Amino acid sequence: MVVPSVSIFADGWRIVAWDGAARWQPDSGQFLFDFDAQAVAPRIAAPARPAPPAAAEPPSRAAAEWFDLGCELQAASPDEARVAYRQALELDPTLADAHVNLGRVHRRAGDAATADSLGRRAAAMTHLGTARRLYARHTT
């Protein structure tokens, strides 16, 4: 019986055995293929590019849900909270709490005029005493 010659070499982090016809990993028995990409490349068509995804319709939320989202975002991300409160007010302009909280975000950003305007709107649409207490509590 003739024992063929086998060469052992390292290919990166793996050990490869080669008998002149095939290459494999001796530890797993996995055969390794040597593809010549330059020879194959001209025969391969360029991959089709997928169509860009259609603009997703944002999930519809109720005014109260936008308000709640604004409350969650207010401390960590006032700019995003501002957007959420505006969405809430677009859906329900009578949501006094959204006016108050949006005013609070504006006041903390240094825009006292807008904050005051929002506070007056909130006071006009709710019981005056309750709105004043809410507004006063958030302006300090």
Edge-to-edge strands of the sheet including 23-24?
Answer: 7-11, 14-18, 23-24, 31-32
pLDDT of residue 94: 87
What are the structural domains of the chain? 1-32 (no CATH), 63-139 (1.25.40.10)
The tens digit of pLDDT for each residue in 61-82 reads 899 999 999 999 999 999 999 9
Sign of the dihedral defined by the CA atoms of residues 76, 82, 86, 87, in that order: negative
* Residue whose entry in the numeric block shows the structure tokens 């519809």: 60
**Measured CA angle at 105 (ends 82, 114), to 5 deg:** 95
- Residues in the chain where the model's pLDDT stays below 50: none
The tens digit of pLDDT for each residue in 96-112 reads 899 999 999 999 999 99
pLDDT of residue 138: 61
